[in-house]
Each structure stands twice: as structure tokens, then as C-alpha cells.
Amino acid sequence: MDNLFDGFFPWLAGQYDPGLGGFYYAQSSIQDKAFIPDIESTAQSLNIIDRQQLIGAMPAKMRNEMVHFFQQKQNPQSGYFVDAHPAMIKDEVMVHRAINYSTGSLKKLGSKALYPLPFVAKAAPEYVSTPDSYLAKWRSIDLRNSWRGCDRLATSCTYIGQMPESDREPFLQEAVRFLESIQDPETGLWGAGSLYVRISGTFKLHTFYSGFGIPMPNIELIYKSVLHCLRNEEATDMCYIRNPIDLLSYIQVPLTPSEISEILTITNNNMSKLKRADGGFSREIENSPPGPNVAQVKKGDYYPDMPEPVALSQGLYEGDLNASTQATLIRRQAYRLAGCIEEPLKGSSEFYEKII
């Protein structure tokens, strides 16, 4: 698997803009003045740097640039972190993810947000006021596309995370009861859609369970569904490669050596189809989706009230940060499944030398 990362770090270094302190989503983003570095791509790049044990060696100048990038994205009144693209603020999933990405990145960089977060700033949505209103919000979310719907469910929990711990418990109890009531008793998955879509939705919900230290129900059923999917379905999106192996790592169902070998072979073969000549990895087979915020709903599928695409690139046949950060996560989980120690990738130590 490691040979798939040839040329990866020169590509990643080339995405950085020292003047802005952020990373571009793809190479075509750099070449087009319509695009600038965005929150998700910058946080995803920092996650890659962190996985390669490079944050401690980050030059002070770059660290300060990146801290400034995230801090200046925060609205002083509402506490939200917002990109310049006007459609970003209209996508609730992006807005919620931006809180977690920005605060997490600032913590990695040894800093923090300048202003209170939305819950403390009293700018959170009305539905967070009581467990009943939170539950009503969850019940209103359409799960015909499990991936999109469960992403909305999971990311809305950012407000629970901002609550004082003493106030969280009734909200978490309602969430757990609700999720258990709608879990498929045969597959262990949630919502509707193709098998990969349902596994991706289930992956989104695992971020809720793991984030609050709550056991995920029916893990044996989830394991069987994941294994069946890997063996029988075609992975056309990097998320379809990352989400199953991440779930397997999380639920920790004992795997036989032959199952581990089979899973890693399938995973490696699928990843190789998304490696691009520029050194990065692409989200999709045909091209890198220019608006990854709407890439959960594929051509021919429908989900109500989808937000506008937040275009981050020209959408060429190229690597992008969304897929590339997932590629490094897949590698990490592959090493864990194999029972091996993950070492930094070859060439990672030269990363800072390549920053322009």
C-alpha cells in the first residue's frame, strides 16, 4: 500500500499558500483565482501532517500562519467558522463540520478559538434547547440516503459537545434510544440507499457513538454487512474505501488472518484506482468532484433540499484533499488490522523543505 503514496508529499506541499496560511483542495484550485484555501482542506492537510508525526517540527512561521487562518474564519458574534464561499453557510453539515475541524486544528497547533463557540454564544439553532426539541429535529431528518441523512444527524451533535457535561446526559439518552429504534435488525445499518451508502451512513453515526464513548449496538451485524459489501460491491468513491475499514477498526470484531488478508487486498486494489499522476488521490473514479459537500448523493439519486455545491476546484481528473486525507487514514487502519506498527511514510520528513 505504501507505494501508492509515491509523489504524495510534494503534491501536498504544493497545495499550501503561505500568504493565506491554508491549503487548496486540488491543483486546479491553485490555478483559478475563483478559489482560495478552505477550512476543510486545510484541516485535512493538518491531519495528514499530524499522522506523519510532523506537527512538532512545523516551522513557527507556518504554525502562526495556520493559526491565523483558522482564527480569522470565526465570526466574533456567532462563534461559527465560515469560509468565504456564500453557499457554505447554507449547508448545515459544512457549518457543523467547520466547528469541529477548526477547533480541532487550533488545538493541534497549540492554540484555540478567539471567541465563544455557538452554543455558549447563544447562536445555536433553537432545536438544541431541550432533549425533546433535539429529538424532533432528528426525527425530521430524511434517511432515504443514509450517508447524507446520518451525516446530518451526527454533525448536529457538535452542539451537545459544546454543552457542559452535566447537561449532556438527557440529550445523549434520547439520541441513543432514537438510533436504536431505527437500526435495521437484519443488517445493523441505518437508513436507505445502496449498501455502500448505508455503510457510509453507519460510519457517520459511529462518530457520534465514539465521540461520546457510547457502545455501538449490533456490531456483529455491522461486521457481516461490511464484509459482504467489500466482497460484492464496487467502490467508486474514496469514502467507500475508508468508511468500511474505519468501521471494522472501530467495532473490533475479531477477524481471522484470511479475512484480514482479503480485506487489505480489496482495500489496496480499490485505492489504486483513485491514485492520480499529480501525487494525490481523487474522491471519485471519473474526476475529483468540484463540490465535495454534495458528493454523497450520486448521479441518478435524489435527496430533498440538498444545498448548493460549494465549488472548491475545477473538478478535473486530479488528486484532492478530501480523498487524500482519507487515504492516509485507510493506511493507518490497514496497519492496525494487520497488527503492524505504522511508521511515517517515506518522503514525509522532507515535507517542510518543499513548502514554497
pLDDT, tens digit, for every residue of 224-236? 999 999 999 999 9
Confidence of residue 216 (pLDDT cuts 50, 70, 90): very high
What is the amino acid identity at position 57?
Answer: A
Task: Give residue 235's pLDDT.
Answer: 97
pLDDT for residue 48 is more than 70: yes
pLDDT for residue 194 is more than 80: yes
Task: Give residue 31's pLDDT.
Answer: 87
Find out whether 71 and 113 touch, Cβ atoms under 8 Å.
yes
**Which triple of cell numbers denotes residue 327?**
487515504
Find out whether 201 and 147 touch, Cβ atoms under 8 Å.
yes
pLDDT for residue 123 is more than 80: yes
Centre a 10 Å sphere on the Cβ of residue 224 and count the other Cβ atoms it contains.
15
Closest CA to 160 of 119, 122, 121: 119
pTM (2 d.p.): 0.95
pLDDT tens digits for 291-314?
999 999 999 999 999 999 999 999
pLDDT tens digits for 63-112?
999 999 999 999 999 999 999 999 999 999 999 999 999 999 999 999 99
Residues 6+ apart with CB under 8 A from 163: 119, 171
Residues 6+ apart with CB under 8 A from 281: 4, 238, 271, 274, 275, 319, 320, 323, 324, 326, 327
Hey, what CATH topology would domain 2-354 get? Glycosyltransferase (1.50.10)
Task: Give residue 89's pLDDT.
Answer: 96
Find out whether 190 and 198 touch, Cβ atoms under 8 Å.
yes
- The rounded mean pLDDT for the chain is 96
Percentage with pLDDT > 90 across the chain = 97
Closest CA to 252 of 290, 206, 297: 206
| C-alpha torsion 184→186→189→190, nearest 10 | -20
Helix (H, G, I), strand (E, B) or coil at 80: coil
Domain boundaries, the chain: 2-354
User: How far is Cα 328 from Cα 347, in angstroms, rounded to an integer?
Assistant: 14
Residue 77 CB burial class (10 angstroms; 0-12, 13-18, ≥19)? exposed
Task: Give residue 180's pLDDT.
Answer: 98
Please indicate whether residue 251 or residue 146 has the higher confidence score (pLDDT): 146
Residues 6+ apart with CB under 8 A from 157: 175, 208, 211, 212
Confidence of residue 356 (pLDDT cuts 50, 70, 90): low
pLDDT for residue 51 is more than 80: yes
Closest CA to 331 of 241, 259, 251, 256: 241
Helix (H, G, I), strand (E, B) or coil at 22: strand
Find out whether 56 and 330 touch, Cβ atoms under 8 Å.
no
Residues 6+ apart with CB under 8 A from 31: 314
**Which triple of cell numbers denotes residue 60?**
513557527
Closest CA to 75 of 93, 98, 42, 109: 98
**Which triple of cell numbers denotes residue 135?**
429529538
